[in-house]
Structure 1
């Protein structure tokens, strides 16, 4: 069985108290809409998350063929992270694309991956990539893509959920504030 997740993460640096506050606001927004509810049957393997799909979760996701079986899917919870963390796309990893011309990030994305990822995680120095095709330059989080490493906090991770509707993703990005990104992971 494979696992996938979608994480919405704030890239701008804020302290943990501010991150916790932003998460509380986003959590309350989802609770008020019954998108999530408290997990009353936590199980380390089957349902480890504190939060699970609520009665109105379908209003937050795109319709699809597997929507009917979603509620019986293992590990279909939602996790909230206030501490800075790395969100990696795992099997989906690919260089982000230039915001101006859509050319994938230079070879440094893959060739120096460990160096820039370590600096970003340990020192919160976000890497800047320059497009080899058009010359546009910007921090990693400003490049286009949902299949590249992002580091930050706060973050909201939807485990094994159907695709979120764009308006829901955008609302969560607004609630987290600042510059945000999305990472899609598949294991």
Structure 2
């Protein structure tokens, strides 16, 4: 007879290192978010000039996060978010490879998505889904305004927007709604740590 309090079969003799690795494997969105933050921080460090790192370059991160959340909410299928995330990364990468400013295309996409969302049933859907419309407006506007400010003020505004979106990420993660939980975890880690990193770079 097996003791009800005994560990599952196959885990009793696992080493502490194996258990740590197993735990980390289940937290892959967190690891991916940290990796994305490190890459972004390295980019800011390499571009650092006499006035310090310019966090305004990371405004596109929060803009796209809000846009992807809104587009996913419109579909009503949380799992679609990873597809939209991948497409956005590819689109931005291709535009930059061809030395094109990604902002006009992203803004046009956001305006189009907002317009469709407003005339769809999204405003009458569950509150957290409908919230993505004003979230897109607020975070999108913050990202765009930051581009017109000084490097210091713009960086701090981008950082505030990222940390604010991290709060939304956590709410979505806990509710298990709007987007896939794995994406919400990834986004929460990226948004929060990148926001803090921008503040540190801007003030040092």
TM-score range, shorter chain: under 0.3
- Flag the structure with more relative contact order, 1 or 2, with Cα contacts below 8 A and sequence separation at least 6: 1
The alignment's TM-score, normalised by the length of structure 1, stands at: 0.26
- TM-score (ref. length: structure 2): 0.25
Structure ID, larger Rg: 2
